[in-house]
Structure 1
């Protein structure tokens, strides 16, 4: 395919390593970042979005010197701290490229050059369009979701339209709302007099301050920070009938020399469990295990020892018999540093009466004509939702009565604030903008004011966690309730400054964007009018945006719904036209759901093609790691008339992401670069596609490895780049005339990538790779992609198909107790030499009469593999080195091939974090054993093999 004259930087080169560092770093930046305005799931880092916009609009360099200069410019630009001078330079470069693209004279002043028009058709949390604005583009943002649309208005329109004066007004009215709410419901979170608590115990009160015993003065006043609750159910033992707390863990503080936790004490008179605060300088000194609570929903009665399984708890929940009990109160103390902890029995009289709360709620609803959020939760089985089997069926069920009263009171005063503005003669749109931020303030409070919030005992944490610690709503057995009228994390007073910082940060980032709420399948934009579509679409079945956002929609509807009747009048957010692979919406049929998602994405990309100019650029940010997700996206783009010209991986996650735990996670977002495909001939796979695919993959493996990209990210990025060979044709045919579908092509790409990576990792040619048996190839690739981590079976099976081996079934790599691969439920993990090497027959040959049999974990007769021989050899070197000569005599491995395998596994294939150098202490047990073996290779292997051959 000939290169286009209008080739862009993103089709040539971008400094992915440096930008990845900044993108990962940005996750820890808070002040002024749009993530602190309002939660939205899976936002891309701003610097990554900036890189995509800039590189999509600037021309590719003509010389190596210009490439070096552009690379440096991008590195400077793609930093959170990039200054105005750097941004001005980037805007100038974009306008210069636009001037050339439009064919304007080179002396045309840049102020007379119309800026490029850029669209994000799945705008979500607004990261991409915000960076488009910052770079001086005429920006369009479209999203179907009303919550996302409101966030976009507050990110892309109001700050740019009203400037920093908007922040002053939001601060003024935000504080007014907080004061009114505090006056109305401050009694729900009363200060606690130490003397009153001590009086109950008929003694001076000894409390724990920051984990240290401290005698507090009776005049001291405690301010509540977090109320800690546990859900309870009645013991199923008829002879017992006690209330069983379902609490998972009782930690209050975990810090060196400061360990504080709650000890559970059964009260046989009241048939309830009481909690006492215990502290120690060491964890062991507590005398009990604070983490020994319920596990996977199963719990134990502290009175009689009866076991309560999750089925029983669900049954009690459906019957409405799950209750809640206070465990502890975390406080601050006037005149004291640190935290003070009260056990439940010390403050239970300070908790409002339930009937009084219900009475006040009813009165509030009658006064305001608002209703508590009785809208239904999604049907059980919906992605990410796991609370319904416990009787939580309405959104209101996720809140305590006190939380509902507090949030409804905030909604009331947000509405009244808008009325006040009208009375004071505020300009209509300004008043609407100010009030909208007050609605976001309420949503920030709600995020830390549900019964799905946990308490974090670590001293560096804020205490009460968000409802959405992850992109789901799982059931919790113990929860933390903050004080929304206070001044600590989760309160309105704490939330308001975060909102103000974002307004100030974005007040001068350009002209307001054009934000439209609507479907990406019917864009309200003129045909062939845009220079670029840069978007981050929903990833197949990853995030149920609409269902999750209902949590916030119900409060926006009650606080600012009257200002946005066109967006906030529905019962819940629209679901019918949401592009997601959600079986629940298709009678639980996964195939129908996948087809619906593909059709929607195809229609959306067709719309993207319609609104793009002939030479326009499409950049799609994609991070899904399964074959199903990739093949769906590819088919959608190809059928919509796009050719994928490039693919770049950017690490957009923090260094502490899942790679540091026990499961594998893809580091990167892949930036797929596409162009509108011109009509062309049908492609022949054998003569047109395969040769180009091989060339692309080998070049990309070399380039990306030089950039420090490796492991799963390298493989996925190479697959993305290889798509150009396929998507440049509307149809690709096999030699028999059948069409090659996207799923089959991905298997072909995977094979090419595996071979290219193995030649690099093993440092040999294709022939050398072909001489290594397939199970050993899979082991090397598995270690290279996943290290020692567990990985989802589907992802691992995709790699297995690329290598040409079977994971499951008789004779598969997971078959037998000494299998190469261990399968646990839906995950697999490679077994190392210490798991397998003790098997005496591993990888050897046994002769009976004139027949030679190979002995492997799969049984007698299966072909021996180099990895079997190596694992047995490593184990013998550790435990029985004297038996090594006998092993080599029976196994008779090819010494050259065996050493290639050992060297590959000792090098990059087993590094715990791809792209990083490892110290001796960081090397895995298997790496260390291979290091020792290679150091003595001649003596232990070659000399013994030579002796045996003689």
Structure 2
């Protein structure tokens, strides 16, 4: 059965990719109030990208409405207007701007309304627009919701937001961001202090601000109550003048018994760096000092002053040794090899010595030599029953091994269970905080009953919105705060000397070993303190745009029957073995389970995060020591198990599960909107095989096999533009958004020859649309895959000459080859001067050569060298010649007044003016406006020059053309804003 014609969405034609990528890259530097700071989750998609993709999935492309936009020019103009809407929407500053959001929501409502034969609510009526979207717009669903970025942005856009994940930690984070805040939006806080102010009429909050205020209040109560119980474990430090100061952090060094007999069995330090502060004028460091009266015959001494560069470099190496050795003995200089340290660690024989104490010195850090008293107090926590309970029960689970995650693990050195990752004092503090949450919850419940909240006894887990559910809500955020705090309260927190501060554990997707570590003051007022953690989290909650309801469920994506359908699918699935989410998340799971198993019993019913069904390709789970479970694989795969390697089994499991997931997505998706699926490249994949890599091809094959058509591929970057091109190579984006449609059930079968003919016929227009969108040349190779794969995947099969089905990998190679042929055929369309310049550039660049070589090229194009010199494209150097460099081009030039105008000049002059001190976008835009239709050819030439420069390894020259091509749509817009020239239009010379 053939489906009715579908309206193309903007994402299927063009999006302002560079603006989206720039906002996504900048977002990485945003910390305060960013939703990612509520709680750590790995590999979140940038909110800017999620917001733009969702918008473009729902908003119609102008070509879908020929009666409203009847000409190509009208469609291009409307497309550029929609691009400007996205450009205004994606910056971080716009994420809470109601004016921008209302305009954005109206655009979505307009497309929805037109599709229904209706007119949208009036633009500017925010409430009416939201009501219309939640009644008429299709819901958004992310079956791999992870940290909640996609459902959060759907909610921000006023849409019904749904998500699900297998991992309970991810589900709880998503609920805290998306599901819970709308339940209590607009409600005042219930704590006693706030209620007193309410009686005086002082509270005027909105959104989830009341909830945030309560979490802060009861978080402070937990901190104060904890200080009564364990405050003596956090003593102040005495300064040289006799006064006392609050400790910011204690700095520790791990120790090992020296293998050198001359050390007499002393425990010696394992230190990666002795530097405490490397700031100019404030340098501080620690040195081990031989002292017979000290334990093991040595002690640490903090020093301050000036250092030579050589002295500082030496201190930065700590007691580390060269290759093949781990450390050297601080007493004898003997080598301590890595295997010995690992063996001692696994035997639980590594020790710990206090290295320095960092205190608050009134706007600066003060580093003190450690006192015996502070070390004794810290060690006294080891006697608490809490520590014994943690070791024997909820923290007894094993930490990840190298087989589970890449990037370094600490288990190789004996930190094999979770209790090994914490100092005794940290175990006492985190457990005390966790246990106080239940008491805090009871206080919230009492105050909630006394407030205007209903007495509905339904708990939060079952959808309640009364006093009971509110108490659960406050407890949930407090539980998340303890979980987040654990990231800074563990023995793998490092001290960054260049910043004078502690750095949390998960700076990357690994649990690496740290030798000299920081122990922040959990009751203090700096990084690693409970109240600071809560305050930072609540900056997120109080700034959330609560535009509508949301729901996040705990569902295995491969078995998802979609409780709501049809839906618009937008998702970021896991990619092979990039990240071991389940293994890493156990670090947080153990604390959340202790704090919140009573509030979320279904989420935390297991001892650890579920791993057997997790859709990642981790070979260790599929070796012969881990027999397969029928719930994880199909019978066909089970029968092939014995003859497969662990790696092959892992990949087969992943692709089988991903196939089930994609099929489920297709069944649940709407017929009117495309699916958007993010594909994350592995770094090794990017560096090695690029767009024809096996992983990329396999993923595309899975999409095609699931009955989906790929008709768009948009490269998403999170790095700055100056990192896009390196050593003349075309660097791939970190991820690609695949735009997919459901394939018609009666899709035909075609041959290889027909596939190539279709590519030749359809790709030129598609490539032109991509270029018009301002997609830079650096991203063209990945972007062209979309329309090419659209042709391939909209057919049931493409048959090879031997009647076998063409693979995706073969199709990718053909698409790339046809694209290159199309680009090369374009050369013949340029004017003769430009064709000669292009050939010269591809051979010599801007180098000088003999005039005879230019004569040969000119004769082939039937043009004289004098014409090439007169046009200004080439310089006559008396027997030699070269392309005129941009620096030597005339500073005063107008395409409308140039009687020998060439496309080459249009490109080089525009690039010159765009980057000139007295130029810029407006001046360059004026040139583009004067070019008329010649500007379209100039844009195409910029792409061609980028390809040549990239192939030649001319990185700086490639960057010039990449920037020019990306900016071209903006230059066209700028050109329309300046006064139109009175001289003849330049395009008259190029009406071919």
**TM-score tier (shorter):** 0.7 to 0.9
Cα deviation, residue 122, structure 1? 0.6
**1:74 and 2:100 are equivalent in the alignment:** no
* CA distance in structure 1 between the partners assigned to 2:517 and 2:959 by the alignment: 35
**1:289 and 2:336 are equivalent in the alignment:** no
Q: How does 1:30-429 map to 2 (within 5 A)?
A: 30-62=31-63, 63-82=75-94, 83-104=97-118, 111=131, 114-163=136-185, 164-194=209-239, 205=240, 217-218=241-242, 220-240=243-263, 241-267=265-291, 271=296, 273-281=298-306, 283-284=308-309, 286=311, 289-293=314-318, 294=320, 298-333=326-361, 336-343=362-369, 346-353=370-377, 356-362=380-386, 365=389, 371-384=393-406, 386-424=409-447, 426=449, 427-429=467-469
* CA distance in structure 1 between the partners assigned to 2:527 and 2:829 by the alignment: 54
Would the alpha carbon gap of residues 752 and 250 (structure 1) be closer, same or farther in structure 2, given more than 3 Å must change?
farther
**1:518 and 2:518 are equivalent in the alignment:** no
* CA distance in structure 2 between the partners assigned to 1:329 and 1:661 by the alignment: 46
Q: How does 1:515-914 map to 2 (within 5 A)?
A: 515-525=552-562, 529-530=566-567, 532-587=568-623, 589-625=646-682, 626=685, 627-653=693-719, 666-681=732-747, 683-684=749-750, 686-693=752-759, 713-751=779-817, 905=952, 907-908=954-955
SS where residue 259 of structure 2 aligns? coil
Would the alpha carbon gap of residues 724 and 396 (structure 1) be closer, same or farther in structure 2, given more than 3 Å must change?
same
String of CA shifts for 1:62-120, please: whole Å, max 9, x gaps: 31221121111111122222221221122222122112333457799865552321111
* CA distance in structure 1 between the partners assigned to 2:108 and 2:948 by the alignment: 49
Cα deviation, residue 744, structure 1? 3.6
Cα deviation, residue 635, structure 1? 2.0
Would the alpha carbon gap of residues 374 and 441 (structure 1) be closer, same or farther in structure 2, given more than 3 Å must change?
same
Partner of 2:527: 489
Cα deviation, residue 271, structure 1? 4.3
Would the alpha carbon gap of residues 404 and 387 (structure 1) be closer, same or farther in structure 2, given more than 3 Å must change?
same
Cα deviation, residue 285, structure 1? 7.6
Would the alpha carbon gap of residues 906 and 584 (structure 1) be closer, same or farther in structure 2, given more than 3 Å must change?
closer
* CA distance in structure 1 between the partners assigned to 2:957 and 2:395 by the alignment: 52
* CA distance in structure 2 between the partners assigned to 1:487 and 1:714 by the alignment: 49
Cα deviation, residue 348, structure 1? 3.2
Partner of 1:13: 14
Would the alpha carbon gap of residues 561 and 106 (structure 1) be closer, same or farther in structure 2, given more than 3 Å must change?
closer
The answer (yes or no) to whether the contact 1:682–1:732 under 8 Å persists in 2 is no
Cα deviation, residue 256, structure 1? 3.0
String of CA shifts for 1:259-308, please: whole Å, max 9, x gaps: 32223445577545533333344552856622223267711122222222
Cα deviation, residue 640, structure 1? 1.2
Cα deviation, residue 161, structure 1? 1.5
Cα deviation, residue 761, structure 1? 12
Would the alpha carbon gap of residues 31 and 305 (structure 1) be closer, same or farther in structure 2, given more than 3 Å must change?
closer
* CA distance in structure 2 between the partners assigned to 1:478 and 1:365 by the alignment: 26
Give the alignment's TM-score, normalised by structure 2: 0.70
* CA distance in structure 1 between the partners assigned to 2:430 and 2:730 by the alignment: 39
Cα deviation, residue 473, structure 1? 1.0
* CA distance in structure 2 between the partners assigned to 1:509 and 1:679 by the alignment: 40
* CA distance in structure 2 between the partners assigned to 1:657 and 1:457 by the alignment: 27
Would the alpha carbon gap of residues 666 and 699 (structure 1) be closer, same or farther in structure 2, given more than 3 Å must change?
same
Would the alpha carbon gap of residues 665 and 244 (structure 1) be closer, same or farther in structure 2, given more than 3 Å must change?
farther
SS where residue 216 of structure 2 aligns? helix
* CA distance in structure 2 between the partners assigned to 1:321 and 1:28 by the alignment: 41
- Root-mean-square deviation over aligned CA pairs: 3.7
The answer (yes or no) to whether the contact 1:253–1:259 under 8 Å persists in 2 is yes
Task: Say how many residue pairs are matched.
Answer: 759
The answer (yes or no) to whether the contact 2:17–2:714 under 8 Å persists in 1 is yes
The answer (yes or no) to whether the contact 1:762–1:903 under 8 Å persists in 2 is no
* CA distance in structure 1 between the partners assigned to 2:767 and 2:302 by the alignment: 57
The answer (yes or no) to whether the contact 1:49–1:128 under 8 Å persists in 2 is yes
* CA distance in structure 1 between the partners assigned to 2:433 and 2:575 by the alignment: 35
Cα deviation, residue 16, structure 1? 1.0
SS where residue 62 of structure 2 aligns? coil
Cα deviation, residue 157, structure 1? 1.7
* CA distance in structure 1 between the partners assigned to 2:673 and 2:656 by the alignment: 23
Cα deviation, residue 539, structure 1? 1.6
The answer (yes or no) to whether the contact 1:9–1:56 under 8 Å persists in 2 is yes
Cα deviation, residue 692, structure 1? 3.8
Would the alpha carbon gap of residues 155 and 246 (structure 1) be closer, same or farther in structure 2, given more than 3 Å must change?
same
Query: Where does the alignment leave 5 or more consecutive residues of structure 1 unmatched?
Result: 195-204, 206-216, 781-899, 919-950
Give the alignment's TM-score, normalised by structure 1: 0.73
The answer (yes or no) to whether the contact 1:144–1:578 under 8 Å persists in 2 is yes
Cα deviation, residue 486, structure 1? 0.5
The answer (yes or no) to whether the contact 1:528–1:614 under 8 Å persists in 2 is no
Partner of 2:486: 446
SS where residue 591 of structure 2 aligns? helix
SS where residue 672 of structure 2 aligns? strand
String of CA shifts for 1:637-680, please: whole Å, max 9, x gaps: 11111101111123234579899999997544311100000024
Query: Where does the alignment leave 5 or more consecutive residues of structure 2 unmatched?
Result: 64-74, 123-127, 186-208, 450-466, 624-644, 686-692, 846-946, 966-992
Cα deviation, residue 763, structure 1? 13
Would the alpha carbon gap of residues 313 and 285 (structure 1) be closer, same or farther in structure 2, given more than 3 Å must change?
closer
* CA distance in structure 2 between the partners assigned to 1:550 and 1:357 by the alignment: 24
Would the alpha carbon gap of residues 448 and 84 (structure 1) be closer, same or farther in structure 2, given more than 3 Å must change?
same
- Once the two structures are overlaid, the 10-residue window that deviates more, 537-546 or 745-754, is 745-754
